[in-house]
Amino acid sequence: MTLKEALDALRIAFADFERAARSDDKTPLQNALALGEAKDAFATTDNSPSILVFADINRFKAVNNQYGYIAGDAAIGQVGLLIDEGVVKPDWGQAFRLSGDEFVVLLRKEFLSDFQQLTRDFSSCGVKFDNEVFIVSLSFGYALSEDGIEFEVLRERAELACKRAKTLGDGLCLGWTEDLGRSHFDSFRITCGTCSALISCEVPVAQKVENLGTCPACGSKL
C-alpha cells in the first residue's frame, strides 16, 4: 500500500467514525450530539430550517409495561424509520432522536403544510415484535424561529405545544402561540436567600425565569 492509499483509507475511516459518533443507535436518525451542532446553523439563511418540531411517543410507558423494553426499542426504531422516510429523505429538514422516545425535527418553513399532513400518518403506527403487531402513536408540537429567541427556548416551546397536542388526540401537530405560553405555568418552591422563607412561585412554561419578584416576608428580591 502506497502512502497515498494509506492516507485515503485513514480519511475514510475517520469520516466513518465521525458519522457513527453522530448517528442514533436505535434509528436511522442523528443523535443529540448532532442536534447540538446543527443548532448553530438553524435559521441562519433563507434555505436553512427555521421551524423546530418536538415529538414523542404517546403512552410509551404503557408499551414498555405491556410488551417489555425490547419492544419499546422496536417502537422507537419504527418511528425513527418513518420520520427518516417522511422528512429526511425528501429533504424537508433534519431529524434527531433526542433521548428515549423523544424526537426533534428541524424543518424548512416551506414544508410546514406538507409536514402537518404527514403527521396524520403517525396517529397509528404498526410495530412488529415477536410475531405480533402493536400500535403506537405520536403527537407533535412546533415553534417558529423568532429574532432573539434562543434555540433552547424554541425547543421548550415546541415541547409545550406537543404536550398540549397530546390532550387533543393522536397524530396531531400543534404550533406554539403566545396564548399557549400564557396559559401554562410551572409551579415550584423557592427559599428566600435573605430570610429563608419558603415561597411558592408560578412562572410561564417555555419562558426564561428572569424576575420572580420580591419575598412577601422580607421584601428582598428573589
CATH number, domain with residue 26: 3.30.70.270
Structure confidence by residue, pLDDT tens digits, 88-146: 999 999 999 998 999 999 999 999 999 999 999 999 999 999 888 999 999 999 999 98
Q: What pLDDT score does 4 carry?
A: 61
Averaged pLDDT, 3-19: 52
Q: Is the four-CA dihedral 159, 162, 164, 167 of positive or negative sign?
A: negative
Together in a domain, 110 and 199:
no
Together in a domain, 194 and 132:
no
Q: Which of 98, 114, 137 is the last residue of a domain?
A: 137
Structure confidence by residue, pLDDT tens digits, 79-92: 999 999 999 999 99
Q: Are 185 and 204 in contact (CB under 8 A)?
A: yes
Together in a domain, 132 and 189:
no
Establish if 152 belongs to a structural domain.
no
Together in a domain, 203 and 124:
no
Range of the domain at 200: 185-222
Is a pLDDT exceeding 50 seen at residue 206? no
